[in-house]
Structure 1
Amino acid sequence: MFEVDEQMTDITYVDISPNEVNNHPFCPHGPTLLFSRHTKKGDRKYYACSACRNRKLCNFFHWADEKYSSARKQIWHCERKKFIGDKSHQELYDSLHTLKSLISKNQVIYCHTCNKFLKNGDGGEHADHNVNVNISLHQIMHPTEMLKPLECDKREAQYLFSRASVKALINIALHNNINSVICIGAPRIHEYIKTTQVDIRSILLDLDKRYHMFYGPEDFCWFNSFNFHFFLGHSSEQSFMNFLRNDKKHLLILDPPFGGRLEPLAHTLKNIQALYKKLHPCSKNDLPVILIYPYFLEQHVVTCLPTFNMIDYKITYDNHPLFSQGAKARKLGSPVRIFTNICPEKVILPFDEGYKFCEICAYWVSPENKHCDFCNKCTSKNGSTYVHCKKCQKCVKPTWKHCGKCKRCCLEPHTCASIAPSLHCYHCGEKGHKKEDCKLISQDDRNILVVNISNNSYKRKGGKCEADNKKRKVGKRQLK
């Protein structure tokens, strides 16, 4: 999963154990994860940071078979205290709001280097820093437009939803009568809800601690989604529980860094589901979840979260050149999709962006996705129109051609017999097959078909959604 130092170049796979992380050693980012290093000499387990995928960003490393001494534990305890800081969430929030009277007079500046607000006259020692002057009320209300995104791909990978994607996600919530949204790593959604008249309340859980200044303790929790860790402890966790405890109809939206492995995130979602069930014992349904993830990792998502389906909507970002709609964007559009445990029929996509409802499949698809009569479903996934190969008996990308020697469709041109199975399986660690073909994964885990959502039970059969409500209804609560 995560990178380790250059001397560990003989790693062929990394196994992760996200269970019982609170018994693991702590680094500044909370409980570490237990990894397994596999080499020719054998396996050896170690603890490393859950949030940082490069040891230059967090250099915690400890072999699991070595004693974790009290002295070492004390050193990392001090590092954690230094990282968290000595100011409470309320103090950080008040530090901005004490300056509010000066904002209308253009007398507030923000130092990006120090991540703090200052009066105009107090900026002398920040003269050589990256500073924004004349901070406006609009910037205070829209922090994602003012703060510089933390785009380090080995840690936060903070890419911000485009306005079109924000409205599409909000509309999905409105169509399903959602009035309470948990935003994990999705500050643009939280910001939109807070600054518009949309009838939804929200809370933001994020690794970016700068949001302490913009949102109070009831609206923001400093949170690590890879180990279910609240940095400010019980008070922050209690704020989240209070939010989840109310009788509103909740939705969780998770937009994680794609460089991290999914197993710890899936474990976090299971923890939140368990907490939701505990707080709402009379509810027969799971907490609705929307996970934002690339389409090419669909099999991995379904393995970790078997009740989830991929929705054919292209999520775009403002500050990612390839995942946007600009001139430098991918020819086939963004590869990022929606995965959810909501019935696909109930995920209504924007008609004005060309999305359409397939009456046969009973769910919404992209403009280029055409229904295949042979496969009996809409098969396109990557933004192109797939074509059916009768020899393979399935639809493939239009750039692929059937090769008689390889006995499969391949990208042209290619060298025959060069396509080999993955060196190892992420599930069992053995060589010669991929995780999706692992025999240790039960057939039941592959084909969990029943999902309960919004008091409707449905079953997936050949890509169809058989809802209790046979008629498709478009909700009235939609953003214009």
Structure 2
Amino acid sequence: MKKDPKNFQKICLISKNGFDINKVPCWPCLLYSRQTQKKNSNRQFYACSTFRDRKLCRTFHWKDEFEKKMKNDNFQDKMIFLNAIQAEQNEIQLKMDKNVQNLRKKENASLASFMFNRETVEFISDSILSMGYNGVICIGTPTVYYEGLEKYPDVDFIFMDIDENKNPELHGKTAKNPFIQYNVFNNHFYKSSDKEIIQNFIKKHKKMAIFIDPPFGGLIEPWTWSINNFLEDHRKLHKSKNRLHLYAFLPYFLKRWLSKFQQVNMMDYRVTYEKNRFNRFHKNSAVRIMTNANLKLFKCSQPEYRICEICKIVVHKNNIHCKSCGKCVIIHNEKRQHCSKCSRCVNSLNAFTHCDNCNACVNKTHNCGKSEMGCKNCKKGECEMRRDCPTKRRKIKMAKCVSKE
């Protein structure tokens, strides 16, 4: 279905105490809401939880039309439809044409393997895996999984991923625990028996850790719900102080979104990946480790990092401790200065200064009383998706007309 940029501007996830999932032949979907500018109202639809590109997954159903169609069908057709869905899910095969499957393997960044480089793997192995865990769940982190199997044979590792082609057995690797095909965005196990395996795994190990490297373009809210299920199961089974530790690999600017759903701290270690055509974070990486563990427990022997004498945590060698803030404030190579009125450090390279009228540190060229937030093209707050901004579309149209002349 072709989108009309004049009507649709905002897409958000609908949630009511978990997931609103509708079973369709593709796989369990999530329920989204799309805001329409024309009627100033929302319209809900079912779509794929993982792939945002329609070329990779064509599943799309307007909720009102789909429910109406189901009501109009007779009972027998409904049962045939639901039985067919259940059979397809048990087969663990997505019924898509060969062209789409080939496109996934070659051009899809959602299924691409992002491998940590050797320095990052060594840090994870020496500083995190050495903390005495007896059970580790790796979700989309094959390098951590293989490194753990080699260096820590006494620790139980289990590997979970949405792509069945990453099954270690297909690559000649043998492990104590089986590979589990799992979609973290909707907490869906492709085999019903795998869910029982995970529950027994959590029940068996008290001191556990979860490593997850989610797609940066995916919504954070769905997969945090899935992780919360693991955390809650571990808390109920093991009523002790040893809670399940989470290690999520995300860009530092996504921490504020993750903090809405998880109480995490950001480790000042720059996660780097092996260079490939999908990956931009192989040099001067913005990716950090978000964890609910105590940051004072970690150490790093790499020359680019040190232990802050005041914070007692691992920081980059260029990081600076602010006595007023009581913490190391540099996040990503920027220079910062402390503002006593705001009681925080601000970026000094962007010519920020404190404005008494706005009661905030803002750019010197700002307009007092006017919000700087919103679309950079039309300077309004309504356009939350810049690609749908009418001002931007007019600029593109004018540029095309000039090029034709």
Pairing partner for 1:287 from 244, 248, 252: 244
Superposed, 1:291-302 pairs within 5 Å as 291-302=248-259
Matching residue's letter, 2:196: Q
SS at match of 1:251: strand
Shift of residue 220, structure 1, vs aligned partner: 1.2
2:88, 2:94 within 8 Å by CA — same for their partners in 1? no
Tell me which residue corresponds to 2:294. Answer: 343
Q: From the superposition, tell whether residues 302 and 20 of structure 1 become closer, same or farther in structure 2 (CA, over 3 Å).
A: closer
Separation (CA, whole Å) in 2 of partners of 1:16 and 1:286: 29
SS at match of 1:342: coil
Separation (CA, whole Å) in 1 of partners of 2:26 and 2:190: 8
Q: With structure 2 as the length reference, what TM-score do the two structures score?
A: 0.76
Separation (CA, whole Å) in 1 of partners of 2:25 and 2:348: 48
Matching residue's letter, 2:312: A
Shift of residue 25, structure 1, vs aligned partner: 1.8
Separation (CA, whole Å) in 1 of partners of 2:272 and 2:126: 16
Pairing partner for 1:227 from 186, 189, 201: 186
Tell me which residue corresponds to 2:275. Answer: 319
2:162, 2:183 within 8 Å by CA — same for their partners in 1? yes
Shift of residue 383, structure 1, vs aligned partner: 3.0
2:28, 2:188 within 8 Å by CA — same for their partners in 1? yes
1:202, 1:219 within 8 Å by CA — same for their partners in 2? no
Q: From the superposition, tell whether residues 415 and 25 of structure 1 become closer, same or farther in structure 2 (CA, over 3 Å).
A: same
Please say if 1:267 is aligned against 2:267: no
Q: With structure 1 as the length reference, what TM-score do the two structures score?
A: 0.65
1:15, 1:37 within 8 Å by CA — same for their partners in 2? yes
Separation (CA, whole Å) in 2 of partners of 1:5 and 1:386: 46
Q: From the superposition, tell whether residues 250 and 81 of structure 1 become closer, same or farther in structure 2 (CA, over 3 Å).
A: closer
1:206, 1:224 within 8 Å by CA — same for their partners in 2? yes
Q: Which has the higher contact order (CA 8 A, sep 6+)?
A: 1
Pairing partner for 1:12 from 9, 25, 31: 9
2:265, 2:290 within 8 Å by CA — same for their partners in 1? yes
Superposed, 1:312-461 pairs within 5 Å as 312-320=268-276, 322-324=280-282, 329=283, 333-348=284-299, 350-390=300-340, 392-403=342-353, 409=361, 420-422=372-374
Any idea what the Cα deviations from partners look like across 1:182-240, whole Å, max 9, x if unmatched?
Answer: 001111111112233554321011011013324569231001010111112x2222222
SS at match of 2:243: coil
Please say if 1:30 is aligned against 2:27: yes
More helix by share: 2
Q: From the superposition, tell whether residues 222 and 18 of structure 1 become closer, same or farther in structure 2 (CA, over 3 Å).
A: farther
Shift of residue 318, structure 1, vs aligned partner: 0.4
Superposed, 1:35-114 pairs within 5 Å as 35-40=32-37, 41=39, 42-66=41-65, 67=67, 69=70, 70=78, 80=89, 84=93
Matching residue's letter, 1:44: R
Q: From the superposition, tell whether residues 415 and 288 of structure 1 become closer, same or farther in structure 2 (CA, over 3 Å).
A: same
Shift of residue 64, structure 1, vs aligned partner: 1.9
| Alignment root-mean-square deviation, CA | 3.5
1:308, 1:341 within 8 Å by CA — same for their partners in 2? yes
Could you list the runs of 5+ residues in structure 1 that have no partner in the other structure? 87-112, 116-128, 130-147, 424-430, 435-480
Matching residue's letter, 1:59: R
SS at match of 2:351: strand
Separation (CA, whole Å) in 1 of partners of 2:240 and 2:343: 42
Shift of residue 370, structure 1, vs aligned partner: 0.3
